Amino acid sequence: MRVLVAMSGGVDSSVAAALLKEEGYEVIGVTLDFGVRVDSGCCGVESAKRVAGKLGVPHYTLNLKDLFHREIVLPFCREYSLGRTPNPCIRCNRTVKFEVLLRKAGEFGADLIATGHYARVEFDRALGRYTLKKGVDRAKDQSYMLYLLTQEQLGRATFPLGDLTKEEVRAIARRMGLHTAGRPESQEICFVPDGRYPELVGRYFPEALRPGPILDTEGEVLGRHKGIAYYTVGQRRGLGLALGRPLYVVRIDPERNAIVVGGKDEVLAEGLLASDVNLVSVPEISEPMKVKAKVRYRHPEADATVFPLEDGKLLVKFSEPQEAVTPGQSVVFYLGDVVVGGGTIEEAWREGEEVASRAQGGP
């Protein structure tokens, strides 16, 4: 069976390709060149070529610079300019990586596509659906990043590292003599490797760097901010305020070009409103469902109930209030190891707000 493997030049995708070849697959390596810095760990073309040569598999490089800039970089900057904090890796997985890989798989006559993600995909006969599950290594689990994948994408995907730990992956790389065995991991967004988001956003949306007022939750001016691109919900440092008590960004108001701050309790939210919902393990949510909800990739899961709304959005109510529920980020729902689905956080929700009245069987 022929499989098209996305090879970034890092240890994870290298081992994914090596394991598939060892299992008898006909492996074709493909590197998606986004035009970002090689040392970001995202698309090291030369490193991937070297691994492919070591494994004795063909390797191709796809120039996706324009597509990546149009579909990922610009939308990221636009969202930031509107006071939201998007997760571009999630969008990239569905609309760029897996979309392109599936198309190229057809051209190469490949049956499957593979990546080095720490996740698992299975077909549930009872549900008649492909399900996405957490990787065995909980510290490396990337199921959160893959919740947007469609049934078609999951049905053609395999994740060889899903049952392995990171330590086991590095050990396999050493055993196979791969030069990527000790390669460090990137912890940043690939197209902003130095973490300088405001400068990137300001290049395309200069209004996001326009100074404005810092307000308290009652609307009183407490100071001035440098531009909304410098802030995100929950942020404490860098506010430039000395009022004798810790203050946090509660929300960002792009219409007034204002940053609203408050105390620790004012950062807490009882729930959230989610849009752009993608369901994985179930075809629909038609009644309240108890789940574990994750509001950021590294955020611990929280007990929650998901309520369907009439407009296709979801209201998520937490059992205990959560910190820094951030518009633009993704909320992902789990039942045990299984990804139920997820959506984009539109806004934090607090008890008694109007959106609750639109929930079917609402709280």
**3.30.470.20, 3.40.50.720, 3.40.800.20, 3.40.50.620: CATH of 2-182:** 3.40.50.620
The predicted structure's pLDDT at residue 215: 96
Determine whether 42 is an active site residue: no
The answer to whether residue 185 scores a pLDDT higher than 90 is no
Q: How many CB atoms lie within 10 A of CB 209?
A: 17
Output the average pLDDT for the chain. 93
Q: Would you say residue 111 has pLDDT above 70?
A: yes
pLDDT in tens, 280-305: 999 999 999 999 999 999 999 999 99
Say if strands 59-63 and 302-308 run parallel, antiparallel, or are unpaired.
Answer: unpaired
pLDDT confidence of residue 56: 97
Which pTM was predicted?
0.92
Are the beta carbons of 325 and 233 closer than 8 angstroms?
yes
Residues 325-358 have pLDDT tens digits of 999 999 999 999 999 999 999 999 887 666 544 4
Residue 187 has pLDDT above 80, yes or no: no
The pLDDT value given to residue 356: 45
Range in 101-110, 176-185, 275-284, 301-310 the model is least confident about: 176-185
Average pLDDT over residues 203-215: 97
Of 88-97, 163-172, 234-243, minimum mean pLDDT range = 234-243
pLDDT of 359 above 50: no
Minimum mean pLDDT range among 69-83, 176-190, 292-306? 176-190
Question: What is the per-residue pLDDT for 37?
Answer: 60
pLDDT of 44 reads 86
User: In the chain, where are the structural domains located?
Assistant: 2-182, 210-262, 268-358
Active-site choice (42, 43, 89, 92): 92
Domain 268-358 has CATH 2.40.30.10: yes
In this model, does residue 190 exceed pLDDT 50?
A: yes
3-state secondary structure at position 275: strand
Q: How confident is the model at residue 74 (pLDDT cuts 50, 70, 90)?
A: very high
Contacts of 152 (CB under 8 A, 6+ apart): 102
Q: How many residues does the chain have?
A: 363
Q: Which pLDDT band, with edges at 50, 70 and 90, does 188 fall under? A: confident
| Architecture field, domain 210-262 | Roll (2.30)
Question: Is 92 part of the annotated catalytic residue set?
Answer: yes
Residue 112 has pLDDT above 90, yes or no: yes
Report in angstroms the alpha-carbon separations of 113 from 7, 24, 75.
11, 15, 26
Given a cut of 90, is residue 183 above it in pLDDT? Answer: no
The packing angle between helices 197-204 and 74-81, to 10°, is 100
The owner of tokens 């930031």 is 80
Contact 3, 115 (CB under 8 A): no
- E-only strand ranges, 46-167: 59-63, 112-114, 119-124, 129-134, 157-158
Residue type present at position 358: R
CA distance 349 to 328: 14
Mean pLDDT computed over 42-62: 92
Q: 198 pLDDT exceeds 90?
A: yes
